[in-house]
């Protein structure tokens, strides 16, 4: 099947990773944190993008058509949507318009092979926050996702600081009073979710939603276990338990 061989080779070229990964990337290759909705009907591209972003520490939920995308953003809270434009059942641009008409400010990054200026303008006018033309580099995609998330939470600085603690989502480093902490990927994700909204009480269900993607098996009392681990590393008082409601910092 020569066409398949061609397709695979072509796809590998489209979705290449930079060969020069150093220790920086090793730091990125852990864990789950921010929740992304990936809307892409191409099986191989979707698979590559999902895998790449998961390796960079994102929870990724993948749907393959426009109507499924609508159902997803209406029922689940995401941090960002990666949206292909040419989609079955409902066009990507129409999905974007529905989202904005519903007054939903979810950041949207369009990724499409349509590189005509007209399409780009239409996407941005319909409320997209950024635009990537296929073929694109997975590292660039991850960097743009991080930039949009920083903009969304109003942080120009990529480092989150809280008291004597700093978290760097890009390098996955956590430092407490000058000492680097060794956090598991889930612990890091959990801490980041809490620090995103200091003072707010987040329920176990909300925290689970933040750190696990669809279809991922969640151990019972998983959140409790991670909170326990974090308290051992951060001190018992850092994360407060609000009885029967949830947790906050
Ligand atoms: Ca498509």
Q: Where are the beta strands (DSSP E) in 79-206?
A: 80-83, 108-112, 130-133, 160-162, 165-168, 173-176, 179-181
According to the model, what pLDDT value does residue 125 have? Answer: 87
User: Could you give phi then psi for residue 151, rounded to 5 degrees?
Assistant: -65, -40
CATH 1.10.10.10 fits 160-248, yes or no: yes
Q: CA-CA distances (angstroms) from residue 174 to 50, 72, 140, 218, 230?
A: 25, 32, 24, 24, 12
pLDDT digits (tens, 9 = 90+) for 203-242: 988 888 877 776 667 777 889 999 999 999 999 889 999 9
157 DSSP assignment: S
pLDDT digits (tens, 9 = 90+) for 116-144: 778 878 888 889 999 998 889 999 999 99
Q: From the CA of 67, how far away is ligand 1's center (Å)?
A: 14
pTM higher than 0.85: no
Q: From the CA of 42, how far away is ligand 1's center (Å)?
A: 6
- By percentage, how much of the chain surpasses pLDDT 90? 45
Q: Residue ranges of the domains in the chain?
A: 15-153, 160-248
Quote the distance between the C-alpha of residue 34 and its chain's center. 4
pLDDT digits (tens, 9 = 90+) for 3-24: 444 344 444 444 444 443 333 3
Q: From the CA of 93, how far away is ligand 1's center (Å)?
A: 12
Q: From the CA of 113, how far away is ligand 1's center (Å)?
A: 8
Q: From the CA of 91, how far away is ligand 1's center (Å)?
A: 9
Which tokens go with 127?
């409320």
* Residue with token string 């960097």: 143
Same fold, 15-153 and 160-248: no
Q: From the CA of 85, how far away is ligand 1's center (Å)?
A: 6
Q: The domain 15-153 belongs to what CATH superfamily?
A: Response regulator (3.40.50.2300)
| Whole-angstrom distance, CA of residue 90 vs CA of residue 231 | 46
Q: Are 211 and 54 in contact (CB under 8 A)?
A: no
Q: Which residues pair with 35 in a beta bridge?
A: 59
Q: Is 226 exposed, middle or buried (0-12, 13-18, 19+ CB in 10 A)?
A: buried
User: Could you give phi then psi for residue 69, rounded to 5 degrees?
Assistant: -65, -45
């Amino acid at each position: 099947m020569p066409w398949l061989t061609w397709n695979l080779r072509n796809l590998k070229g489209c979705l290449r990773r930079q060969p020069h990964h150093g220790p920086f990337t090793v730091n990125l290759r852990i864990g789950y944190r921010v929740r992304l909705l990936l809307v892409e009907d191409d099986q191989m591209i979707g698979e590559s993008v999902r895998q790449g972003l998961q390796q960079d520490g994102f929870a990724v939920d993948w749907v393959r058509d426009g109507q499924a995308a609508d159902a997803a953003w209406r029922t689940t809270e995401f941090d960002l949507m990666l949206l292909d434009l040419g989609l079955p059942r409902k066009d990507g641009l129409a999905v974007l318009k529905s989202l904005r008409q519903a007054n939903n400010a979810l950041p949207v990054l369009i990724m499409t092979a349509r590189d005509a200026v007209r399409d780009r303008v239409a996407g941005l006018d319909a409320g997209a926050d950024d635009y990537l033309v296929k073929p694109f580099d997975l590292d660039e995609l991850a960097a743009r996702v991080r930039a949009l998330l920083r903009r969304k939470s109003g942080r120009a600085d990529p480092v989150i600081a809280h008291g004597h603690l700093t978290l760097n989502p890009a390098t996955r480093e956590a430092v407490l009073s000058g000492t680097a902490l060794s956090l598991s990927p889930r612990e890091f994700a959990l801490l980041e979710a809490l620090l995103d909204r200091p003072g707010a009480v987040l329920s176990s269900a909300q925290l689970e939603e933040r750190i696990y993607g669809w279809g991922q098996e969640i151990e019972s009392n998983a959140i409790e276990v991670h909170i326990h681990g974090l308290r051992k590393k951060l001190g018992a008082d850092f994360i407060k338990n609000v009885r029967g409601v949830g947790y906050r910092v």
